Amino acid sequence: MSRTVTTDSTTEPAHELPGPVPDGPVPAGAEPAAEETPGNRARSQLMVLLAVCCLALGGVFVRISEVGPVATGGYRSLLAAPMLLGMSLAAARRSRVNALTPTASGDGAPGGATRIGRRDQLLIVLGGLFLAADLCLWNISFLYTSLAEANLLANLVPFIIAPLCFLLFGDRLPWRLALPALLALVGLYILVILGTGLDPKHLRGDLLALATAVFYALFLVVAKGLRERHEATRIMATLSLVCGVACFGVAALLGESMWPHSVKGWLVLIALAVTSQLLGQTLMAHAVKFLPLQLAALFVLLQPVAAAVYGLVLFDQRLSLVQMAGIGVLLVSIFWAKNLLEGKK
């Protein structure tokens, strides 16, 4: 999934779950800014829509890439890593300037990057491997199922993170999630069983997209702990490096084509890194600061819709009425679950 990993450095309580975005969650704790105006909100809504359209392009670039789907994921991560590293260095520079700026009490503000210890280094490797598994499975799923289904099924993260946090950290299991979870199962039955007619190829793609949500949930659990101790872009730069190397290793084992053979092939990979990995998540992280989180989450659920439009226009991927019904039920269940987990009515 064109996953959105927020670069916002705020931390959230352990029991709060990231919102669904196929490329990932809306930044937790994002609230409307104090200076919010109707003009700011309108611009932010346009930015969120643009971010959603950028994130939904991931599957398009995978399908037209000159290299294999797993290798495409590797390029996406490695090409984005220098961009994230540049953002991290800029943030560190600002921290050093702030550290030298006297405060009202006459003391310098704390600044500087925290040293990454051995335990966190291991967590970065583990998180990078989870992210690589997520990208590998998701990119392969685009070859077997529709862009809309792959984007949607990878968005079932809230239903996976809740039991994960219960098993790993002993967080209270939100039993109120049971009803939207049952609704999600109904949607899955309509979409995957009735909608595909148990076609082996299509079913394989849907199952790969579902597995994607599991590994992305594991990645978010690891990344959440790291982000509470370190600056977000610094962590994401190193995670992207680990993810890219792991993806290339898997691509080599699968015997995929590893090297673009034209300028167009390179432009596709660069466009993927800029739109899905950098531009989409940066716009999202900025815009949701000026929007109510519930509204931003509703916009994010348009990503499978955008993917469906891309699939129809570019690849003639037509959805049956049964499939559209399943997608509708799943969208309702995801939005319902997200509101419950964030304490909304």
pLDDT tens profile 27-61? 333 344 445 566 677 888 888 889 889 989 999 99
Only one residue has tokens 């190829």, namely 201
Q: How far apart are CA 78 and CA 175, in angstroms?
A: 40
| Residue 286 pLDDT | 72
Tokens encoding 7: 């670069």
Q: State yes or no: pLDDT of 10 exceeds 70.
A: no
Contact indicator for 20, 155 with CB cutoff of 8 Å? yes
Q: How far apart are CA 281 and CA 51, in angstroms?
A: 7
| pLDDT band, very low/low/confident/very high, at 163 (cuts 50, 70, 90) | confident
pLDDT in tens, 308-330: 999 999 999 999 999 999 999 99
pLDDT interval class at 159 (50, 70, 90)? confident
* Separation CA 17–CA 28 (nearest Å): 8
Greater pLDDT, 253 or 18: 253
pLDDT, tens digit (0-9, with 9 covering 90-100), for 67-122: 999 999 999 999 988 888 887 788 778 777 776 665 444 444 444 556 778 888 89
| pTM, rounded to two decimals | 0.80
**Residue 25 pLDDT class (50, 70, 90 cuts):** very low
Residue with the larger pLDDT of the pair 125 and 283: 125
Say how far apart CA 38 and CA 342 lie, in whole Å: 25
State pLDDT tens for residues 212-222: 999 999 998 88
